[in-house]
Structure 1
Amino acid sequence: MFKRWGKRFRQIGAVAAYNFRQWHKNPRIIITFLLAFILCFLLSDKAVNFAKEHDTVMQVVEPFIWTFGDSNSILLSSLLLLLLFADMPFLSAGTPFYLMRIDRKTWVMGQAFYIVLATGIYLAFILAATSLVCMTNAFSANMWSKTAAILGYSGEGEAIALPALVKTLEMSKPYSCMATIFLLMLLYTLVMVFLMLFFHIWKGQAAGVIAVFAFSVTGFLLNPENLKNLFRLPDELAYKARVWVGWLSPLNQATYHMHNFGYDRLPRLWQTYLIFGGLLVFLMILSLWAIRRYSFHFRGTEN
């Protein structure tokens, strides 16, 4: 039994490794990471300029925290994965040879393993890019900077749309906060990409793209501020709406400050992890089911 599973794990790794070999000199991959760097520069520029204007330094991961503690930034960064995974379900010249040696389920699990690794690499690049933007005016100690204190306690962060909330400063340290935000982003983007994988296999490429856009637009619309402004809700109803969308919207669940830190009814972090984990397992099961009826089409050595 262990020998059989060991063989399957090696096959899964081989499928993922083959997909990574397709990155070599691939213009689509290069463009994706270039666009990601440009996006990080544009989104982090507000925080960097704020520090320069106030003549203060920043902790090296603070640009990532302030930038991707916001749902709109998470949404924008995740949509670039459509370009990274545009060739889903990753058919290539080598696919027929793999399918001759392994079963379909193992092949799909190899694709899933590749998705997890590629998404992790992409988000690690985003973290590195946001840190690089402020590198000349930053320190590495695990403590909040004076810039963060000004943003959080003076209210100026809200004025320039940087979510440096007081509860973030008081209940965490920079590196632990960064790790939590990174994990939330990873889980959210994996749910989105696994959703795309399932619909690609089940109904085709167009269905996968439509599913992702519907998933993203729903998250954007289910924003507490959007609902409050659209329906002109009083404060009491606005709070109830905030709690409801905090539970219902995956995008809000991926947003750090949209969680319960001890004094409201929003989801706690561990509950979000369970919800995202359950969704990933469910989507993986659906993909394994859909691959049984998937028709592979090859034209010579191309998909």
Structure 2
Amino acid sequence: MATSLAHHLTTTPLQWALGGWTFFLLENVLLSENRTYLLSRLGDDTYHAIYGTCSTLAMGSVAYGYRRVRGAPPLLLGAVPTVGGKMVSLVCLSLGLGIISQMTPKLQIPVEYYGSVGKTTTPTPPPEEHVTNGPMESSETNDTVSRGWKVRCPFDFTDKKQQPHDGHVPPLYGVERISRHPGLWSLAFLGLGNAMLVPSLPQRVWLSMPVLVAFIGGAHTDSRYRRGMGGELPKEYDDMTSNVPFWAMITGRQGNVLEVFKDAVEEVKPLNAALAVGAAGMFVWRRGRGGMKMPVR
């Protein structure tokens, strides 16, 4: 068994699954960590030209790696996703799509039925023997109800983050509570969710590698920003947030855990989240309802 496993770990498809992402991660870490030194030696234009070229080559190797692993035989894994695998996939895809959905404008139903109650005053004429040329006195007030349909924009561009909260603007809102790097982790969750639905070990490894990129890449970015290299990370914001999703929330760094999660739920854009979870469910149902055949090369 050990010999078989060692053989599979040294196969060319698996090497491509690991190699492309590893090159991408190392290239970004090394060039950004030595940013100050390279800028002083090469200048801004040359540095960015080298950085862009290396990043392009790295992403090219990642894409080529997927081409190599996509047709790889199913090493060590069954051809049909397990129930547990489908559940993990659903959770991961829902998180990935959910984070992305919360970074976009709030969706709302474009047609709304409204009803409003107003007040109208009916003037009462004076008795005949007291008729004058002056204005009639008001003596009765009635309620009037206005109902109808109105069309509104399907996107609500109101930025609730800028609205006052207990006399101040809250330092954290929405996905900022979850992670300092929501973009990286949304891609990581999407990759991991897809990985649980494929039978090929090399393909599963390739799809799972963005998790490592998010963990190491996010931590390295935070480290650089704390040192003032290429950006900044204020201590107050650093103390209240985390790179790993939900870690700052469950460790109490944002306050009472139950209150924090309650606030996070209230800040969710419900229609965006519902569409994200629905799309994740449909994807898992279509990809995981039966056996999956690997493409023949």
State the TM-score, normalized to the length of structure 2: 0.30
Identify the structure with the greater strand proportion.
2
Rg larger for: 2
Q: Which has the higher contact order (CA 8 A, sep 6+)?
A: 2
Identify the structure with the greater helix proportion.
1
State the TM-score, normalized to the length of structure 1: 0.29
